[in-house]
Structure 1
Amino acid sequence: MSYFLNLVFAGLAVGALYGLLAMGYAIIFKVSRVVNFAQGEIMMLIAYMAYSVALRTDGSALLVVLAVLVSSVAVGFLIERFVVRPMLGQPVFSLVMMTIALAILIRSVAALIWGNYPYRFPGAETVQPFVIAGVYIQPLQMVLLAVYGAICVAVWAFLRFNIVGIAMRATASDATVSMLMGVSVTRLYRTAWVVSALIAGIAGILFANINHIGPDMAHIGIRAFPATILGGLDSVIGSAVAGLIIGVVESLTGGYVAATYKEIAGFVVILFVLMIRPYGLFGQRNIERV
């Protein structure tokens, strides 16, 4: 039983990271109907920027957090302004290919600047895990889960009660009507990319402190993508919850089946779920009159 609980907790910790990235996927898709396949690379880039700041400030936590916030906003804004906005009005396939090209570009630039080797994040403390009911828990894993919960609540409140969040939901329903009502769709696109980059940056800095920082961080974006599909591409909170499901499934698969099957476990789950609910567990069915 202790072994099972340890696998579940480890899966929840990884799933929280997936859930954060999945929220970033869903926020952009909800507003613009674009799947951003550069989400993992954006997380990696912001983490590297924070790493550079940490090297020069002896790992000052306050300055590193400030660097994450500033670099996330800057990266999200620049990508939306100079990469996404010129592509508006183009076929969705072109936009998706653009995000793939952006992912390759970011990965190449990061390799040129920081190299291809993993690093230990400066100031990351090696704290002994504590045990509760036979479950080994790292303090930073608890921090990750707490941040995950706080961001879920903040994003839900933002979409539910904030005027910008309500406008984003309206635009997702019908962008043309929203424009006729005076909503600046371009500004909402920018907000979506900035918020998505901010969540990715927070996820990246947490992962870097728990594990390491390196080019392999970018692959987490692809491993988190099944959570977005499972939860529903148009459901931000649903994608976050699905991240926990995918994380636990991967952990149990690695523990009871084989570690080599962990990476495909999430895709197997969505394969079965989509045969029953093509729009995801929490997504909305789209009905079109023809």
Structure 2
Amino acid sequence: MDFLVLLVSTGLVSGAAYGLIAMGFALIYKSTGVVNFAQGELVMLTAYIAYTLSTTFGLSFVPLMLLTIPISMLLGLVLERIFIRPMLGEPIFAIVMVTVGLAVILRGVTIMIWGPDPFNFTAGISTDVVYIGSAPFYPAQLYLIAALAVMTAIGWAFLRYSRMGIAMRAVAANETAALLVGISVSRIHAVAWMFSAAIASVAGVLFAANFKLAPDLWFQGMKSFPAVILGGMDSVIGSAAAGLAIGVIENLFQGYIGQGLREISGFIVIVIVLMVRPYGLFGSKEIERV
């Protein structure tokens, strides 16, 4: 029983990271219809920026995030203006390929500035073990789970009640109709990239605090992709919940079946989901009339 509790608790930690990254994927897809393959690189780059701020100014966690999040939002806006805005009106495939190229550029820039060696990065969080029942946690792990809960609540409230969130949902439902009623689609795209970069910064800092800060952090974007598929490409909240499920599933596969299955278990899940519900568990079913 203790072994099961350990597997589930550690799975929730990695699943919270997947959920945060998946929310960034889903937010951009919901607003633009484009899969941003540079999301993992945004997570990596913003984590390195936070590391530099932390070591330079000696910041604790809360001041660090209060400084990192606005910087990451500005970064998201700049990337959208330079790489995505000129592609408006072009085929979706072309825009997706731009995000692939952007991902490669961000990896190269990160290694060029910070080098290939990993860093220890606590992000100003204590390393004392905390027990919840029989499950041991580091504070950074609890911060990660709490961050997913907070970002999910903010995302739900923003999309449901704010004018910008409602406009974002309108653009996702019908971009042409949104334009006809006066919604600025280009502005919605910019806001989506800014918010996605903010979520990426939270995910990057807390992932690095729990594991390590290294150039291969970008790969967590690909590992989070099963959560996006499981939750639904256009479901921000569903992707967050699916991230937790994927993290627990990975740990259970590793603990009870074999080490090698951890890396592929998430993709096994999405193959099954795609065969049964191609639009994900919480995604919107698209109906085309011909």
Q: Sort the TM-score into its range (normalised by shorter chain).
A: over 0.9
CA distance in 2 between partners of 1:135 and 1:117 (Å): 32
Taking the aligned partners of 1:123 and 1:132, their CA distance within structure 2 comes to 22
Corresponding residue SS for 2:131? strand
Runs of 4+ in 1 over 3 A off after TM superposition: 59-63, 122-126
Amino acid at match of 2:236: V
User: Is the 1:57–1:63 Cα contact (8 Å) retained in structure 2?
Assistant: no
Contact 1:11 1:244 in 2 (8 A): yes
* Cα distance in 1 between the residues matched to 2:54 and 2:13: 24
Deviation at 1:70, TM superposition (A): 2.4
**Map of 2:257 onto structure 1:** 257
Residue 243 of structure 1: CA displacement? 0.5
The one-letter code matched in structure 2 to 1:178 is A
Matches for 1:1-290 after TM superposition, within 5 Å:
1-121=1-121, 124-125=124-125, 127-290=127-290
TM-score, normalization by structure 2:
0.97
Alignment check: 8 A CA contact 1:54 1:122 kept = no
Where 1:131 maps in the other structure, the secondary structure is strand
**Post-superposition shift, 1:172?**
0.5
Cα drift, residue 122 of structure 1: 5.7
Once the two structures are superposed, residues 161-188 of structure 1 have per-residue CA deviations (whole angstroms, 9 ceiling, x without a partner) of 0000000001111000000000000100
Cα RMSD (Å): 1.3
Q: Which has the higher mean CA deviation after the structures are superposed, 28-37 or 205-214?
A: 205-214
Q: CA deviation at 1:126?
A: 5.3
Code of the residue aligned with 2:159 in structure 1: it is L
Conservation of the 8 A alpha-carbon contact between 1:160 and 1:166: yes
Determine the C-alpha separation between the residues in 1 that align with 2:34 and 2:186: 14
> Which secondary structure state, in structure 1, belongs to the residue aligned with residue 119 of structure 2?
coil
| Structure 2 gap segments, 5+ residues each | none
Unaligned 5+ residue runs, structure 1? none
Give, in angstroms, the shift of residue 54 of structure 1: 1.2
Letter aligned with residue 48 of structure 1: Y
Aligned residue type for 1:19: G
Letter in 1 for 2:13: A
On the 8 A contact 2:28/2:189 being kept in 1, the answer is yes
Paired residue total: 290
Is contact 1:58-1:122 (8 Å) kept?
no
| Contact 1:58 1:123 (C-alpha < 8 Å) held by counterparts | no
So what's the TM-score if we normalise by structure 1?
0.97
In 1, Cα distance between equivalents of 2:261 and 2:198: 31
Measure, in 1, the Cα distance between the counterparts of 2:102 and 2:228.
20
* CA displacement, residues 73-105 of structure 1 (integer Å, 9 cap, x when unaligned): 111100110100011111111111111111110
Aligned AA (2:250): E
Q: What whole-Å deviation, never above 9, does each CA across 1:196-242 have from its counterpart, x for those lacking one?
A: 00000011111121222111111100000110011110111011111
Cα deviation for residue 141 of structure 1 reads 1.1
Determine what percentage of the aligned residue pairs are the same residue: 47
Contact 2:61 2:124 in 1 (8 A): no
Q: Structure 2 CA distance, aligned partners of 1:180 and 1:123? A: 46
CA offset digits 1:244-273 (Å, max 9, x no partner): 110101111111122222111100001111
Q: Give the drift of 1:59.
A: 3.8
Whether the aligned pair in 2 keeps the contact of 1:18 and 1:244 (CA below 8 Å) is: yes
CA deviation vs aligned residue, 1:15-64 (integer Å, no higher than 9, x gap): 11111111110110011100001101001111111111111112443542
> Could you say what secondary structure the match of 2:48 adopts?
helix
What is the alpha-carbon distance in structure 1 between the residues aligned to residue 37 and residue 181 of structure 2? 31
Shift in Å at residue 123 of structure 1? 5.3
